[in-house]
Amino acid sequence: MERDAGPRVVEGILRRAMTVFFTSDTHFGDPRVLRLDRRPFPDLAAHDAALIAAWNARVAPEDEVWHLGDFALGPSGPRLRQILDALHGTKRLISGNNDGPDTLAAPGWAWVGPYAEVAVEARRLVLCHYAFRTWNGIGRGALNLHGHSHGQLKPIPRQYDVGVDAQGFVPVTLAEILVSRRRGAKRPAEPSA
């Protein structure tokens, strides 16, 4: 697995035929999300199971998923591995403020780092857990995909919150993200509890 301790441009890692998905703020094992974010699950076990089921209903084993931080808070190393093993796709992690050493070191990540710039569907994307006011390539059409704000931040042009709270608790494709902005609304929350 590739590890990255600092900002870096990731080039050429999205070349094979697959669907690329984005998500953030799953907070597996974190009981605070049920209360703070008012997620519609009766308990943490139902929350985690529903997010895993929703992920796997969309993502095939050969697909790629960029998780833009706050993957988990609380689970031990063995539980983290269990969660990662249960999730389909090649998983790449942009670290978030709640991703501790166990999450960052967990087997199952193809790549871990704090920031990435990638091209998907001929679009330049700047990926970070945090929303930026400005970012590399903004003047040339680059998009900023982020998490952290749990659907509560008013976006600026070319900036998209891919967190589960903003995207109906499922990973989303770039095309879905762009369409959702044109429609002017967040994805409906339809968890499968």
Q: What are the structural domains, with CATH classification, of the chain?
A: 18-183 (3.60.21.10)
Going by pLDDT thresholds of 50, 70 and 90, the confidence category of residue 15 is very low
Residue 33, Ramachandran bin (φ over 0: left; ψ between -120 and 50: alpha; else beta)? alpha
Structure tokens at 176: 């879905």
Instruction: Please give the C-alpha separations between residue 6 and each of 9, 15, 31, 58, in angstroms, as whole numbers.
Output: 10, 23, 30, 31
Q: Which residue has the higher pLDDT, 35 or 30?
A: 30
Which of 43, 11, 89 is closest to 193 using CA atoms? 43
Q: Could you tell me the pTM of the whole model?
A: 0.86
Maximal C-alpha separation, the chain? 45
What is the 3-state composition of the chain as percent helix, strand, coil, each rounded to the nearest 5? 25, 25, 50
Q: What mean pLDDT is predicted for residues 79-107?
A: 97
Q: Are 13 and 56 in contact (CB under 8 A)?
A: no
Residue 114 three-state SS: coil
Query: Which of these, 174, 132, 192, lies nearest to 157 by C-alpha position?
Result: 132
Q: Is the dihedral of CA 192, 54, 58, 185 positive or negative?
A: positive
Residue 92 has pLDDT above 50, yes or no: yes
Residue 54, classed as helix, strand or coil, is helix
pLDDT digits (tens, 9 = 90+) for 158-184: 999 999 999 999 999 999 999 976 555
| Residue 121, token pair as written in the block | 């569907």
pLDDT band at residue 149, thresholds of 50, 70 and 90?
confident
Q: How confident is the model at residue 19 (pLDDT cuts 50, 70, 90)?
A: very high
* 50-88 tens-digit pLDDT: 999 999 999 999 999 999 999 999 888 999 999 999 999
Two tokens, residue 100: 């501790």
Q: Which residue has the higher pLDDT, 192 or 99?
A: 99
Strands across the sheet with 123-128, in order? Answer: 115-120, 123-128, 143-146, 159-161
Rounded Cα–Cα distance for residues 28 and 103 (Å): 10
| Beta bridge partner(s), residue 116 | 127
